[in-house]
């Protein structure tokens, strides 16, 4: 495989940038070709001034960023964009001073991401920790059901999906993904079903040609973990080690129209249980066997620094569109094609 075309753009102009720090981007593309991106930005992560920002790429040019959602005095985190069947764009995000206190909010855009409505709680009165997508995009199954990749970060880390039969109006929580935790003893004999440290979070989802659903997961085990579902996401097998290096940093994946899987991740392994290793390089990899193996396609970044938290989508022209955090200072957008 080789890259056929490649475009790289920095979304926010450095001159007059309206925030000091930014992270955790997301994107969608409308039928008209407009790309809408969002991220959180402010003084620093967890700061009470942090808001959700967005920008649009129209005719190949990025418009100036604007605040899409803000809950005054409360930190906001991890926006996720998703387009409904009617073209309406949903903006999910977390709000809370600390991750275990997260609530999930949602705002709506009916004008291709130009403006968003006042946000409301996704699941009113729900328990702390957050429902709905936690970092990565929902997917729509062949039968129309929407699955949102979700997770909880408390004393342990756990993953699940939220399930919507009405295109994002109401949500039903799946069972948690089973995890065999091995504690912090990294000297135990290797077992691909055992995971060291707190657990798994931030799933990225795909449905295969046989209508089975799968997820890859960020983990504290030094590797990317995986789980599979044969019932549309309601229940999951015990998470298992894929052997793909993971430095406890965000990952994302998309299934191309032809069935290939495109994964964007930091291919760095760290000692299991550690919070994270260096978030570089940032790499695009491709699987042609339903995620059983991946071949690296290209490195997006290789220098020292934090290049991480990718979001990736595709369109019906076989273009891969992605964004990622650049040193917590900006968001980078890339568009590429590859050929066998």
For 152-190, how does the pLDDT look when each residue is reduced to its tens digit (9 = 90+)? 999 999 999 999 999 999 999 999 999 998 866 656 666
User: Does position 13 have pLDDT exceeding 90, yes or no?
Assistant: yes
Determine the pLDDT at residue 275.
60
User: Does position 287 have pLDDT exceeding 80, yes or no?
Assistant: yes
User: Does position 240 have pLDDT exceeding 70, yes or no?
Assistant: yes
Average pLDDT over residues 265-285: 83
Q: For a pLDDT cut of 70, what percent of the chain falls above it?
A: 96
Determine the pLDDT at residue 125.
87
Q: Which range has the worst mean pLDDT, 181-195, 219-233, 250-264?
A: 181-195
Enumerate domains of the chain plus CATH numbers.
2-339 (2.120.10.10)
Determine the pLDDT at residue 278.
83
Please choose, from the candidates 111, 99, 89, the residue with its C-alpha nearest in 3D space to the C-alpha of residue 155.
Answer: 99
Paired strand residues for 201? 218
Q: Which residue has the tokens 């990225």?
A: 204
The tokens of 183 are what?
């504690």
Dump pLDDT digits (tens) for 58-93.
999 999 999 999 999 999 999 999 999 999 999 999
Q: Are 206 and 255 in contact (CB under 8 A)?
A: yes
Q: Are 38 and 79 in contact (CB under 8 A)?
A: yes
Could you give the CA distance from residue 245 to residue 224 in angstroms, rounded to a whole number? Answer: 6
Determine the pLDDT at residue 24.
98
Q: Would you place residue 270 in the very low, low, confident or very high pLDDT band (cuts 50, 70, 90)?
A: confident
Dump pLDDT digits (tens) for 125-148.
888 899 999 999 999 999 999 999
Q: Are 199 and 157 in contact (CB under 8 A)?
A: yes
Could you give the CA distance from residue 317 to residue 331 in angstroms, rounded to a whole number? Answer: 24
**CA pseudo-torsion sign 67, 70, 134, 175:** negative
Determine the pLDDT at residue 184.
60
- Sheet containing strand 120-121, edge to edge, reads 76-83, 89-95, 103-109, 120-121
Paired strand residues for 81? 91
pTM of the model: 0.96
Average pLDDT over residues 193-217: 95
Please choose, from the candidates 154, 207, 145, the residue with its C-alpha nearest in 3D space to the C-alpha of residue 176.
Answer: 154
Could you give the CA distance from residue 95 to residue 111 in angstroms, rounded to a whole number? Answer: 24
Could you tell me the CA-to-CA distances from 144 to 31, 85, 119, 165, 232 in Å, in that order?
19, 9, 25, 7, 11
Could you give the CA distance from residue 296 to residue 67 in angstroms, rounded to a whole number? Answer: 36
Average pLDDT, the chain: 95
Average pLDDT over residues 301-313: 97
Please choose, from the candidates 243, 246, 266, 263, the residue with its C-alpha nearest in 3D space to the C-alpha of residue 200.
Answer: 246
Could you tell me the CA-to-CA distances from 86 to 102, 148, 286 in Å, in that order?
29, 18, 31
User: Does position 205 have pLDDT exceeding 90, yes or no?
Assistant: yes
Could you give the CA distance from residue 189 to residue 274 in angstroms, rounded to a whole number? Answer: 18
Paired strand residues for 83? 89
Find the radius of gyration of the CA atoms of the chain: 18
Dump pLDDT digits (tens) for 93-113.
999 999 999 999 999 999 999
């Amino acid at each position: 495989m080789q890259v056929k075309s490649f475009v790289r753009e920095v979304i926010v102009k450095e001159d007059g940038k309206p925030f000091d720090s930014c992270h955790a981007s997301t994107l969608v593309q409308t039928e008209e070709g407009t790309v809408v991106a969002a991220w959180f930005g402010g003084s620093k992560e967890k700061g009470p001034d942090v808001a959700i920002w967005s920008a649009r790429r129209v005719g190949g040019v990025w418009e100036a960023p604007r605040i899409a959602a803000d809950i005054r005095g409360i930190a906001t985190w991890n926006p996720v964009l998703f387009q409904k069947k009617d073209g309406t764009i949903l903006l999910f995000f977390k709000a809370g001073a600390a991750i275990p206190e997260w609530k999930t909010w949602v705002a709506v855009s009916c004008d291709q991401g130009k403006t968003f409505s006042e946000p409301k709680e996704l699941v009113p009165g729900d328990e702390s920790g957050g429902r709905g997508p936690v970092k990565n995009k929902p997917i729509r199954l062949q039968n129309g059901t929407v699955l949102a990749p979700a997770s909880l970060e408390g004393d342990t880390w756990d993953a699940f999906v939220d399930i919507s039969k009405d295109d994002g109006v109401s949500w039903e929580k799946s069972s948690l993904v089973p995890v065999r935790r091995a504690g912090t003893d990294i000297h135990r004999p290797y077992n691909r079903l055992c995971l060291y440290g707190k657990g798994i979070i931030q799933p990225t989802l795909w449905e295969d040609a046989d209508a089975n659903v799968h997820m890859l997961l960020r983990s504290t085990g030094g590797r990317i973990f995986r789980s599979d579902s044969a019932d549309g996401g309601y229940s999951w097998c015990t998470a298992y080690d894929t052997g793909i290096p993971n430095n406890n940093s965000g990952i994302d994946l998309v299934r191309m129209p032809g069935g290939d899987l495109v994964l964007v991740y930091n291919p760095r392994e760290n000692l299991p249980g550690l919070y994270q290793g260096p978030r570089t390089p940032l790499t695009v990899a491709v699987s042609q066997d339903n995620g059983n193996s991946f071949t690296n396609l290209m490195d997006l970044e290789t220098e020292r620094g934090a290049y991480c938290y990718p979001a990736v989508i595709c369109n019906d022209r076989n273009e891969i569109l992605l964004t990622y955090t650049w040193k917590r200072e900006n968001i980078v957008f890339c568009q590429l094609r590859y050929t066998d």
